[in-house]
Structures are given as C-alpha cells and as structure tokens.
Amino acid sequence: MKNCWKPGTLVYPAPAVLVSCGNGQHNNLFTVAWTGTVCTNPAMLSISVRPERYSYGLIKANMQFTLNLTTTAMARATDLCGVKSGADCDKWELSGLHRYKGVAVECPAVEESPISVECRVKTILPLGSHDMFIAEVVNVLADERYLDKETGRFDLDIAGLMAYSHGAYYALGEKLGTFGFSVKKKK
C-alpha cells in the first residue's frame, strides 16, 4: 500500500554540483541539486535557481555559468557553498577550492572538479519558486587524471562522484551494469 502525500519534488538522488558564475572579474560559486540534461544535439542542460539567490543575478547579467561535478573529497566545500552566500563572503577562499580559467566562458571552473561544463544561457523560464536556466554546453573541461591511458575513455567511476538525497550527501556506490546489459546476448 502507498500513502498519498502533498505534491513535492522527491526525485532523488540528484547530482550535487557546484555552479561557478560571474564575468571573470567578479565570480561566485554555489551548490545546485536541481540540474539535468535537456538535449543531446545541441548539448544542453538546465539548472533551477531561486531569484533571491546572489548567483541568480550574476548568471542573468552574464548569461553564462560553469557546472562542476563534485566528488566525495569536495563534500565539505560543496555543502559550504550551498549554505553561505556570496554576498557575504568569498566562497572560493572560504571553501579552499581553486579557480581554473574558463576557456569558452568568462567565469572560472573548479580546478578540483573531474568535469566542468561551460554553458551559455539560451532561455530563462520563470516557474514559481525557481527559474530554470536552459543553457547550451559550449565546452567541457575534463581532468586528465580520469582518462584511461589504454582506451582514452574518461573514467568517472574512479572520480568518487557524490549525490544529494533528501538533505544528505552520498558517495555513489557499486556499478550494477552498463547501458543495455539487460538485453545483451550471453557469450
């Protein structure tokens, strides 16, 4: 039997990402769990942000941001960037994270992130408590530490990615299969 609850967004776990934004001179960093893939071609993703957040104005003014995947080693910094406001402090300095100069956008990436996705905002959708920024991916910065030397494949399995689930951070666990494993013919 299932209980009925009031409508809510209980789609968990979600990625816990750090979004860096700004114009290269004035930058901020904040945590987002409401993010997702929008389209493959062109590559697009979304983040949902409350208009009262400090970073909202930076993204809207510059129409760009960088989405940085987080790892278990970044858990404390990721949480700090979600509870502190860039209006009151320099979260880069406070978190101990380092800026990596943006390539296709002016805002920096997070050096410690295994993948940093540089984006240009295409559309802002006002939705209620949050506005959704739909953005085109213009460049991806991949940390070479996670490249498989033999295959050249990027191996996120060894990065130690983390997720957010209903108020808590979790390390991603055991691989259960790869895409299509349920229908793969046995040898």
* pLDDT tens digits along 1-53: 999 989 888 889 999 999 999 987 889 999 999 999 999 999 999 999 999 99
Residue 176 lies in a domain: no
Residue 86 lies in a domain: yes
Residue 58 structural domain: 14-171
Residue 46 lies in a domain: yes
Q: Which two tokens stand for residue 102?
A: 């943006």
**Verdict on whether the full-model pTM lies above 0.75:** yes
For the CA atoms of the chain, what is the radius of gyration? 17
- The DSSP line for 11-56 is --SEE-EEEEEE-SSSEEEEEE--EEEEETTTTEEEEEE-TTSHHH
Residue 142 lies in a domain: yes
In this structure, what is the dihedral angle of CA atoms 133, 121, 170, 113, given to the nearest 10 degrees?
A: -160
The neighbouring-strand residues paired with 142 are 115
CB atoms inside a 10 Å sphere around CB 60: 15
What backbone phi and psi angles, to 5 degrees, belong to 74?
Answer: -100, 10
Residue 184 lies in a domain: no
Return the CATH number at 101: 2.30.110.10
Give per-residue pLDDT as tens, 102-143.
Answer: 999 999 999 999 999 999 999 999 999 999 999 999 999 999
Q: Name the region of 95 (left: φ>0; alpha: ψ -120 to 50; beta: rest).
A: alpha
Residue 71 lies in a domain: yes
The domain total for the chain is: 1
Residue 9 lies in a domain: no
- The pLDDT score that the predictor gives to residue 74 is 97
- Which residue is it, tokens 């930076």? 58
Give per-residue pLDDT as tens, 67-83.
Answer: 999 999 999 999 999 99
Give burial (CB, 10 Å; 0-12/13-18/19+) of 21. buried
Q: Which two tokens stand for residue 93?
A: 């300095």
